[in-house]
Homo-oligomer: A and B are copies of this chain.
């Protein structure tokens, strides 16, 4: 007998990128794929001490706990957000098993089959997958280097009457771009005008290479500054990139009714996330200077990004360009027209370097000559060799491209 999978399961295909990441596991492969933070940056000793403190406080940490999450941690998170200019209350917050669960819960409580969601073009792949799993329909809004184009956003708000606008405005996955303040305000205003909620996914926002030069307030902060009453922005972030992903702790900050309904959904989904991890994070924040640690990570990541882009620049690849991100974990490569990223991926695998083609990051028709490079995970000492391999992959592409020409002549 064949199992009668639900439509939801049928709309949850195995991710192409997931399969690519498995290729990245092959022996000897240097991977610039994936979205992993540097393992060397995890504050292991401070985390160890934090768990120790939790267990010293007794067995309450081991019992069932409330769905909304450990309240003292919510208080700490709210304080940190307030310090960054984002009005926040622990009562308007739900702790989650990382940002991925935040996205899933928001889609769960808002999307019916056929509902539209507007997304950046390109956008975070796993968000597209979650939207698809709820049988929602993602529509890409045209973007430039400063964010969504307001005219495209308004046109699509009118055309698709979406339930949600999903954005990743600060050091976007996959592009590493940052929305300008103006574009942020415009998106906030347009979504208010059309009564559409924004889901602001902000896992990388604190990883800033030049914090003082960046004018990128959270859309949630701009919304709060511009409008009375409950927020129109559902803000989600995580400790995965600032502390460590293994603790699986993120949060949703939103209007009270959104938090209430999301908490009900979470109760059905898993009752609550690990209370031990939540208490350990709380203990960590009590003594550990997380802001100093974030500055350290940011400097480390900036150095990695510079090393990589300088090595790439020395190769003078014809027609290949990239941005220089001001933070986050990714940079975005543009290949010459006609050089398919999927082909370059294949040549890369043959040369034992893994870079993800950009195709999968688009809601609609993809750009076929983009690639995402992660610069935070690979050992910096391997970067020269990684670039040599990329170079050989590019040479292979040129060689095969010329032989194609011969054949077609």
Contact digits for A35-59, partner B, Cβ 8 Å, 1 yes 0 no: 0110110101001100110010011
In the bound complex, CA of A328 to CA of B25 (Å): 43
Collect the chain B residues with CB atoms within 8 Å of residue A272's CB: 248
B271 and A274 contact, CB distance less than 8 A: no
Cβ distance A360 to chain B, nearest Cβ, rounded Å: 14
The B-contacting residues of A in range 1-49, CB under 8 angstroms, are: 1, 3-9, 12-15, 18, 36-37, 39-40, 42, 44, 47-48
Name A271's contact: one of B13, B37, B100, B133 (CB within 8 Å): B100
The B-contacting residues of A in range 263-304, CB under 8 angstroms, are: 264-265, 267-277
**Closest B residue to A8 using CB positions:** B108
With A5-B110, A265-B12 in contact, is A270–B248 under 8 Å at CB?
yes
In the bound complex, CA of A126 to CA of B111 (Å): 22
Collect the chain B residues with CB atoms within 8 Å of residue A265's CB: 8-9, 12, 133
Collect the chain B residues with CB atoms within 8 Å of residue A163's CB: 4
Stretch at the interface among A61-69, A364-372, A401-409: A61-69
**Closest B residue to A278 using CB positions:** B246
**Closest B residue to A110 using CB positions:** B6
In the bound complex, CA of A65 to CA of B246 (Å): 7
Chain copies in the assembled complex: 2
B133 and A245 contact, CB distance less than 8 A: no
Ordered by A's residue number, 17 sampled pairs between the chains whose C-beta atoms are within 8 Å are A3-B255, A5-B261, A8-B108, A9-B108, A9-B261, A12-B264, A42-B62, A48-B55, A52-B52, A62-B245, A100-B270, A126-B267, A130-B268, A133-B268, A248-B275, A270-B270, A277-B277
Q: Enumerate the 5 nearest inter-chain pairs by beta-carbon distance, A residue then B residue, closest first.
A: A62-B244, A48-B55, A9-B109, A97-B270, A62-B246
A: which residues have CB within 8 A of B? 1, 3-9, 12-15, 18, 36-37, 39-40, 42, 44, 47-48, 51-52, 55, 58-65, 96-98, 100-101, 104, 108-112, 115, 126, 129-130, 133-134, 163, 195, 197, 240, 244-248, 255, 257-258, 261, 264-265, 267-277
17 additional contacts, CB 8 Å, given A47-B55, A59-B244?
A5-B109, A5-B110, A8-B108, A9-B108, A9-B110, A12-B264, A48-B52, A62-B244, A63-B245, A64-B246, A97-B271, A100-B271, A104-B268, A129-B268, A248-B274, A273-B274, A274-B274
